Amino acid sequence: MQSSFLNIPNGHPFPLYNLPYGVFEHKGKTSIGVAIDDYVLNLTLLEEKGLLKVEALAGKKVFNQITLNAFLATGKPCWNAVRQFLMNLLDSNTSDLRDNAALQAELLIPQSEIVMKMPVHVGGYTDFYSSIEHATNIGKLFRDPVNPLLPNWRHIPVGYDGRASAIVVSGTKIKRPKGQLKIGDDAPICAPTRQFDTEIELGFIIGTGNDLGTPVSINAAADHVFGVVMLLDWSARDIQRWEYVPLGPFLGKNFGTTISPWVVTMEALQPFCVAGPEQNPKPLLYLEKQNINFDIDLHLQIKTSKMDAYQEISHTNYKYMYWDIAQQVAHHTVNGCNLQPGDILGTGTISGPTPDSYGSLIELTWNGANAIHLNSGEERVYLADNDSMQLVAMATKGDLCIGFGSAEATVLPAIDS
């Protein structure tokens, strides 16, 4: 394995092998970069200086942008060429940057000096429901403990169109939403949600899209995907419960969705590829299993206003997901629906098989029956004002470890209106 002249310690989330892409602000200027060690390598400046020597990008200004979308649209061979170029540039055996302290000072900016922005312009956001453990838990809680899965669930990666405009980058505070609630037999009221939840998800970022009317085949599907972010799907369960029949979740979901700022590339994830659960019945041919799940650990943490540090409340793994990203892309486009660069496909809540690996408060507390006890002596069933939630992910295999950074947000009180 290659190593960088930056002498990155083992276990650092951003080794040479990772190189996740992000958009950052530094001294008032927005640029694109990759994370390496505790730095960001400024690709906008690298391109501007003519030092980004990648043939496929000749004459293009894909990093003189405020989002990754233009780079995404260049396609997989180009993404891979840039990755190879950057790995080589940062390699301990390459002298160009290694031996040029002045250039390093320009191009490598300490992450402590930057503010991360939305990595992509999200034109379309789709949220799936692809964890069999999550769908089973929700079915047991609200429908039928004996037959918790709906008849379509094992045949199609169930999903719905979400609200792209409400996707925000990690650190953006989320106001407690108001909405219409129906409590027991009382008439409906308009009030702040009393059941503020969040869901552990990953968000796959579409790199290259497809034309309306032209499906992406299951074999080609993975090549359309550029990378992955963490995603916190904030949910107001009481609003959702009253509104969702028959057209699905709407205001219970679209008041805010948090993503992590660093996009980990599919290329960097390859060593962590696993087969994923067996699918029974065998999916139809257009959804034929490609075995591209990934072994990615996810940790959900909470910090109330009385706590000094985050406390873990769930530890799950993406590898449990029943439907994988290739199946989701093939299904999404089988009717001709057009995906576009920067679109996000949410995995749906990632729940594992054991109660400590459930991916949402509604499952972790079993619909409120079991409050979560915090180190501060507090209890939580749902989120209180000023609670902060953080999602942290890491993929590990032998000595190789790549991190996703963090997706976090704090719950603000509802405004009066």
102 contributes a contact to a copy of itself by CB under 8 A? no
Which residue in 12, 26, 121, 134 is the catalytic one? 134
Binding string to a copy of itself for residues 128 to 167, with x set by CB under 8 A, is what? -x--------------------xxx--xx-xxxxxxxxx-
**Residue 266's CB: how many other CB atoms inside 10 A?**
24
Rounded to an integer, what is the distance from CA 63 to the centroid of its chain?
22
Q: Cβ 242 to a copy of itself, closest distance in Å?
A: 6
Task: Please say which residue, 13 or 119, places its beta carbon nearer to a copy of itself.
Answer: 119
Task: Please say which residue, 14 or 204, places its beta carbon nearer to a copy of itself.
Answer: 204
Tokens of 279: 């699918």
Task: Please say which residue, 15 or 124, places its beta carbon nearer to a copy of itself.
Answer: 124
Return the residues of window 167-226 that contact a copy of itself according to CB under 8 A: 168, 174-175, 177-180, 182, 187-190, 212-215, 217
Q: Please name every residue paired with 168 in a beta bridge, in sequence order, or none if there are none.
A: 258
Q: Cβ 62 to a copy of itself, closest distance in Å?
A: 21
Asked if the bond preceding 246 is cis, omega within 30° of 0, the reply is yes
Q: Of residues 2, 284, 356, 373, which one binds a copy of itself by CB under 8 A? A: 284
CA distance 90 to 72: 22
CA distance 287 to 328: 8
Binding string to a copy of itself for residues 306 to 335, with x set by CB under 8 A, is what? -------------------------xx-xx
CA distance 314 to 397: 21
Strands 400-412, 174-175: pairing kind: parallel
Tokens of 227: 């990378």
CA distance 361 to 381: 7
Q: Cβ 149 to a copy of itself, closest distance in Å?
A: 11
Q: Cβ 417 to a copy of itself, closest distance in Å?
A: 5
Q: Is 332 annotated as catalytic?
A: no
Contact 358, 352 (CB under 8 A): yes
Rounded alpha-carbon distances, angstroms, from residue 278 to 132, 274, 288, 327:
11, 12, 12, 14
CA distance 79 to 265: 9
Query: Which region, judged by CB under 8 A, interacts with a copy of itself, from 69-77, 196-204, 243-251, 354-362?
Result: 243-251
Instruction: Provide the annotated active-site residues.
Output: 134
Site residues, a copy of itself (CB under 8 A): 123-124, 127, 129, 150-152, 155-156, 158-166, 168, 174-175, 177-180, 182, 187-190, 212-215, 217, 236, 239, 242-252, 254-256, 281, 284-286, 331-332, 334-340, 343, 412, 415, 417
